[in-house]
Amino acid sequence: MLDARLAELTRCLPDLRLLTAPGDLEHYGRDWTRRWTPAPLAIALPASIAEAQAIVRWANEHRVAIVPSGGRTGLSGGAVAANGELVLSLERMNRVLDFNAIDRTLSVQAGISLQAVHDAARGHGLLYPVDFAARGSCSIGGNIATNAGGIRVIRYGNTREWIAGLKVVAGNGELLELNRALIKNSSGYDFRQLMIGSEGTLGIVVEATLKLTDPPPPSQVMLLALPDMDALMHVFALFRARLALQAFEFFTDHALKHVLAHGAQRAIDGDYPYYVVTEFDATDERVQEVALAAFEHALEQGWVSDGVIAQSEAQATALWRLRDGITESLAPRRPYKNDVSVRISAVPSFLHEMRALLMREYPHIEVVWFGHIGDGNLHINVLRPDGLAEEDFITQCEHVTKLLAATLQRHGGSISAEHGIGLVKRAYLESTRSAAEIALMHGVRKVFDPNGILNPGKLFVSD
Ligand SMILES: Cc1cc2nc3c(=O)[nH]c(=O)nc-3n(C[C@H](O)[C@H](O)[C@H](O)COP(=O)(O)OP(=O)(O)OC[C@H]3O[C@@H](n4cnc5c(N)ncnc54)[C@H](O)[C@@H]3O)c2cc1C
């Protein structure tokens, strides 16, 4: 028999698609973390803004918590529904609404995938530049809610830079139209920016107007093998000074091992502890000479041990796969993830302290790191060894994360660079934000969501 609250919802919205089958509850109740047991009340799939608003009003009336849900590729438990919440999936609201050639904007419904946005922009001869490996399944709404970064931040910045306007259903059901896609708008508080990165705790993004830009110039892709960690920032400084970088990503030999086991092709013979994939503008043939000269210089300095420059698009794709495929290759192991950032200038000292900490605290546990080193962003993936109970593993990881958070605090960094706080990192928010800031965040939440129905338990330890 249908829960009385759900019966009321279907009475208000007879056309609403509502799922309650156990398989659906499990599917929509979790994200990529796979740590919590999904237990939502039901899944609502509105097809319009009006339906989304009516659901939020119903949730206020019946005090039902709502978990806004995109592609559930999130890595911090933000879209997890484990406590009888209603999952509000934007999956059916996935259309391109408008392209404006003069404004160079694309208006979309929030459930559209990042890949579909890329395709639509390309179809108009333009680029939506935020990009990362989950592009086929993550949604623009989720990207906005987490201020997603990815592999092109070094050139283009985070999602935040690319949002011209938003339509958001606030926690009281009201529809807010934020910034009207204006370039210039000095008329008070910019709630659009407040919504970006708010992890579904202030409002449900239902539509977005995205800025587009010129397609990138032709580029070249290079893979470098490095002898040690100190070389990393030397190579970064060298390449950034001589080339127009589009991406500069690093990974370790452990990451390489997993991605090769997952089907990627080895591109450099031999074993090296660190690798870099970099992509740079190649507007004329001299660029290849400049890149090779930079490589030679790095070789002489002992900063690189080997390298390969892609000679075809297929080879460039194969080199990128070594970096792009890491998260997916680790997924079956359900790693415990840290996603941290410091200023680029603080990377060398932070890396040393962090490495010493990880080696000391995880002596018999495999730790895989990789990341967007050109943005000061590192992903640390801790793999549970066979024979160690999940609960004990998490306890150990939480202990190390506390130490890591203290290290980050000393280096002026953040416990969440781009994945969001969600459930995974809420206990460490205060290592990145002051008590005064957190108090203000709670106050802001009360204004937009007076009854605290939007994604309770996420971002903050207590609502
Ligand atoms: C293989 C892989 C690689 C990845 N690489 C990167 C990377 O390089 N950079 C990066 O930043 N992330 C990366 N991620 C993480 C993830 O893809 C991003 O966090 C992405 O932005 C999440 O989008 P989603 O639609 O899947 O959101 P979900 O997981 O569904 O939700 C994430 C959060 O957003 C909220 N939310 C979702 N939709 C809405 C909405 N419409 N309105 C309000 N709140 C909403 C949810 O409640 C939740 O708090 C990667 C993930 C995978 C699996």
- The string of pLDDT tens digits covering residues 161-173 is 999 999 999 999 9
Final residue belonging to a domain, choices 92, 127, 154: 92
- Report pLDDT for 380: 97
Distance CA 148, CA 278 (A): 20
Cβ of 247 closer than 6 Å to ligand 1, yes or no, is no
Cβ of 29 closer than 6 Å to ligand 1, yes or no, is no
- Residue 356 belongs to a domain: yes
74 and 119 fall within a common domain: no
CA of 8 to the centre of ligand 1 (A): 31
CATH number for the domain harbouring residue 121: 3.30.465.10
350 and 412 fall within a common domain: yes
286 and 270 fall within a common domain: yes
- Residue 188 belongs to a domain: yes
Cβ of 149 closer than 6 Å to ligand 1, yes or no, is yes
Boundaries of domain holding 387: 334-416
- Report pLDDT for 1: 61
CATH number for the domain harbouring residue 404: 3.30.70.2740
386 and 311 fall within a common domain: no
Final residue belonging to a domain, choices 301, 327, 353: 327
CA of 132 to the centre of ligand 1 (A): 11
Nearest CA residue ID for atom 2, ligand 1: 134
- Residue 103 belongs to a domain: yes
**What length is written for the chain?**
463
Distance CA 431, CA 27 (A): 33
Cβ of 368 closer than 6 Å to ligand 1, yes or no, is no
Distance CA 199, CA 448 (A): 13
309 and 340 fall within a common domain: no
CA of 327 to the centre of ligand 1 (A): 13
Cβ of 77 closer than 6 Å to ligand 1, yes or no, is no
248 and 341 fall within a common domain: no
296 and 402 fall within a common domain: no
- Residue 223 belongs to a domain: yes
294 and 354 fall within a common domain: no
Q: Which long-range contacts (CB under 8 A, 24 or more apart) does 256-259 make?
A: 256/322, 258/326, 258/329, 258/330, 258/368, 259/321, 259/322, 259/323, 259/325, 259/326, 259/329
Measured from the Cα of 31, ligand 1's closest atom is 29
- Residue 157 belongs to a domain: yes
Nearest CA residue ID for atom 15, ligand 1: 74
Cβ of 205 closer than 6 Å to ligand 1, yes or no, is yes
Cβ of 339 closer than 6 Å to ligand 1, yes or no, is no
- Residue 442 belongs to a domain: no
Cβ of 171 closer than 6 Å to ligand 1, yes or no, is no
Cβ of 72 closer than 6 Å to ligand 1, yes or no, is yes
Nearest CA residue ID for atom 21, ligand 1: 143
Per-residue pLDDT of the chain (463 residues), as tens digits, is 679 999 999 999 999 999 999 999 999 999 999 999 999 999 999 999 999 999 999 999 999 999 999 999 999 999 999 999 999 999 999 999 999 999 999 999 999 999 999 999 999 999 999 999 999 999 999 999 999 999 999 999 999 999 999 999 999 999 999 999 999 999 999 999 999 999 999 999 999 999 999 999 999 999 999 999 999 999 999 999 999 999 999 999 999 999 999 999 999 999 999 999 999 999 988 999 999 999 999 999 999 999 999 999 999 999 999 999 999 999 999 999 999 999 999 999 999 999 999 999 999 999 999 999 999 999 999 999 999 999 999 999 999 999 999 999 999 999 999 999 999 999 999 999 999 999 999 999 999 999 999 999 999 998 7
Cβ of 73 closer than 6 Å to ligand 1, yes or no, is yes
CATH number for the domain harbouring residue 226: 3.30.70.2190
- Report pLDDT for 463: 77
- Report pLDDT for 462: 84
Cβ of 70 closer than 6 Å to ligand 1, yes or no, is yes
Nearest CA residue ID for atom 34, ligand 1: 142
CA of 89 to the centre of ligand 1 (A): 13
CA distances from 231 to 152, 154, 296, 304, 371 (A): 22, 19, 14, 7, 16
Q: How many domains does the structure of the chain reveal? A: 4
Cβ of 204 closer than 6 Å to ligand 1, yes or no, is yes
Nearest CA residue ID for atom 52, ligand 1: 134
- Report pLDDT for 285: 85
Cβ of 456 closer than 6 Å to ligand 1, yes or no, is no
- Residue 402 belongs to a domain: yes
Cβ of 328 closer than 6 Å to ligand 1, yes or no, is yes
CA of 31 to the centre of ligand 1 (A): 9
Cβ of 381 closer than 6 Å to ligand 1, yes or no, is no
292 and 341 fall within a common domain: no
CA angle 380, 381, 384 (to 5 degrees): 145
232 and 149 fall within a common domain: no
Nearest CA residue ID for atom 27, ligand 1: 142
pTM: 0.97
317 and 242 fall within a common domain: yes
CA distances from 372 to 236, 278, 344, 414 (A): 11, 10, 10, 14
Measured from the Cα of 168, ligand 1's closest atom is 42
Final residue belonging to a domain, choices 192, 211, 230: 211
Q: Which amino acid would we find at residue 405?
A: A
152 is written with which tokens?
């092109």
CA angle 155, 70, 200 (to 5 degrees): 85
82 and 113 fall within a common domain: no
